[in-house]
Amino acid sequence: MKDYLTLDDFPLDNQRILVRVDVNSPMDPDGTILDDKRFRGHLPTLRDLEEARVVLLAHQSRAGKKDFTTMEAHARKFSQLLRREVTYVDDIFGTRARDSIKAMRSGDVILLENTRFYSEENISRPAEEHAKSHMVRGLAPLFDLFVNDAFAVSHRSHLSVVGFTENLPSAAGRLMEKEIEALDMGVRGNEHPSIFVLGGTKADDSIKVIANVFNRGGVDQVLVTGVVATVFQMAAGTNVGERNRDFVAGLDYSDQVSIAKDLMDKNPGKIVVPRDVALDQDGERLDVAMEKIPPDLQIADIGLETIVDFSKRIREAKLVVLNGTAGIFEKEKFSLGTSEILKAATEADFSIAGGGHTSAAIEELGLESRFSHVSTGGGASISYLSGDRLPGIEALKKAAQRLRT
């Protein structure tokens, strides 16, 4: 039995249901939404609620950003994708919002105003404190059920994510359910060989993930690329060149080198570092063995031998979890490592990808449909894989316990 409730646990038809979604999307200056991927992720939940009275809570950007704007365009986008009207209400919990909710009929959908227009939304507090807010006290009495389908913001203890779970029966939406099940599969690593491929620049995050999955005992190998690999190479005593050492120091990752060394000592042979790298030599790709890195050139990708080696390991995996790019994917000369690793992952039995840059690379390569699961949450997926408790999910579990006792 799951330790949270889902839509399958509640009557839905004609119920008044408040749904937290995450449709925070890139927008151009005239307010046009440039990518509807996050909207599409919520369609299974909303289709299951077709006979309910559904009110959506969402945010767009944050104060001070150019795309911090109303949810009007988001309501139009939802209307297009659902092929039925989604009404935008330019209010969150005031009289206009409450009157609109009271007037709803079965099948109606409303999208309320940007939750981050309300200053208390952005403060991290325990669910019990958020439950006393004006927003929760104004809206909760109007609903039968709260649904959290916003995995991507569930690593934050924000008002609209956790506050309603204290006052209303609460469930995970279909997207949330899918995220939890896929990432759980990755962390458990019950399929063998189970491989993690971790890259990008956020070495501290990746090292937390590595520590967690080894502690759980499910992973067979971790392949490291990007800055993560540079940190592990330094931990192994490899001379990565003065420029790359300085880069790691500039990211304030010097302390991560000793943590990486400890992980390698405790898990001999399980953390696989690149055998060669591609350097940026005046914009050109120069592949060299690790021990031949000159002092003045930046590592920009994994090398050709490593690409062949890592790709073979990944293709043969029963389960592969990826987060972070192998190099500077935005530059064509240094995108090879990332693209080949992602292509190899589509041939594994089950493939999970997380992180914003990884998802963007998958989409650019047109590989999304070939992955078993591409997470919608960058920070949230890393937090989950690291073993952190996500406030949004913990609030759902607590709500389930209350109903079951």
Binding site as annotated, residues for ATP: 330, 355-358
Q: Which two tokens stand for residue 347?
A: 């041939």
Q: Which residues are annotated as a binding site for substrate?
A: 22-24, 38, 59-62, 116, 156
C-beta of residue 86 within 8 angstroms of C-beta of residue 58: no
Cross-strand partners of 320: 195, 351
Residues 6+ apart with CB under 8 A from 289: 275, 276, 303
Looking at residue 151, its amino acid is: F
At 41, phi and psi to the nearest 5? -65, -25
Strands (E), 27-132: 53-57, 87-88, 109-111
Q: Which residues are annotated as a binding site?
A: 22-24, 38, 59-62, 116, 156, 330, 355-358
Distances from the Cα of 149 to the Cα of 19, 20, 25, angstroms: 7, 6, 16
Distances from the Cα of 81 to the Cα of 39, 43, 97, 367, angstroms: 8, 8, 23, 22
